[in-house]
Amino acid sequence: MVFRPNAKGLRKVFGELEAEIMEAIWRRGRATVQEVWQELRRDREIAYATVKTVMGRLADKGHLRRRTQERAHTFEPTRTREAFLREVSEEVLAGLFADFGEPVLAQLVASGGDPAVLERLQALIAARRGRGRRP
């Protein structure tokens, strides 16, 4: 996975078109190439073949599941948007902690200037410690 810290939203981990396609499919639950293409072309000029290729690549990467129904491919996400974001967050943070542990930890605490955020962080740490003590 490539992480682009300066990009916005899903574009941090997907290309521009990949992000648009994933958002469209998460909204719908499942969709054909035709349906996604029609949605995307409302905002810009884009070739059907381009959408088909990118959706195929997203399936090859494991983000979409492809099913064939009556000569048309239907695609659905392999996980919810929330599950995907959780997995990406875990992967990015694990990589940052592995390479830059102390500075990342310091920044995490420093960026939590809101007392409610710090309280939430403390609660998460306490819950984690509680689970660790159980046999």
Assess whether 60 and 35 both reside in one domain. Answer: yes
| pLDDT greater than 50 at residue 135 | no
Residue range of the domain that includes 39: 9-77
pLDDT tens-digit profile of 56-80? 999 999 999 999 888 888 999 999 9
Tell me the H-state helices in 32-114.
Answer: 33-40, 48-60, 81-111
- Residue where one domain finishes, among candidates 77, 93, 116: 77
1 falls within a domain: no
Higher-scoring residue by pLDDT: 120, 22? 22
| pLDDT greater than 60 at residue 82 | yes
User: What predicted TM-score, i.e. pTM, was given to this entire model?
Assistant: 0.79
DSSP of 72-84, one letter per residue? Answer: EEEEEESS-HHHH
Burial of residue 103, with CB atoms counted within 10 A of its CB: 0-12 exposed, 13-18 middle, 19 or more buried: exposed
Assess whether 70 and 30 both reside in one domain. Answer: yes
Residue type, 75: F
Confidence of residue 112 (pLDDT cuts 50, 70, 90): low
CATH number, residue 48 = 1.10.10.10
Mean pLDDT (the chain) is: 90
